[in-house]
Amino acid sequence: MTYIIRAITTANHIAGLLKVLLPSMGYSATEKIQATDKINDIIDEIIFISFS
Residues 6+ apart with CB under 8 A from 4: 46, 47, 50
pLDDT of residue 25: 66
Which range marks the domain in which residue 3 is found? 1-8+28-51
Residue 22, SS3? helix
- Tell me which residue of 13, 20, 5 sits closest to 39, measured CA to CA: 13
CB 36 within 8 A of CB 19: yes
CA distance 46 to 48: 6
Span 27-49, pLDDT tens digits: 677 777 787 788 888 888 887 87
- Is 18 a domain residue? no
- Is 23 a domain residue? no
pTM of the model: 0.45
Structurally, the chain folds into a number of domains equal to 1
- Is 38 a domain residue? yes
- Is 17 a domain residue? no
- Is 1 a domain residue? yes
- Is 2 a domain residue? yes
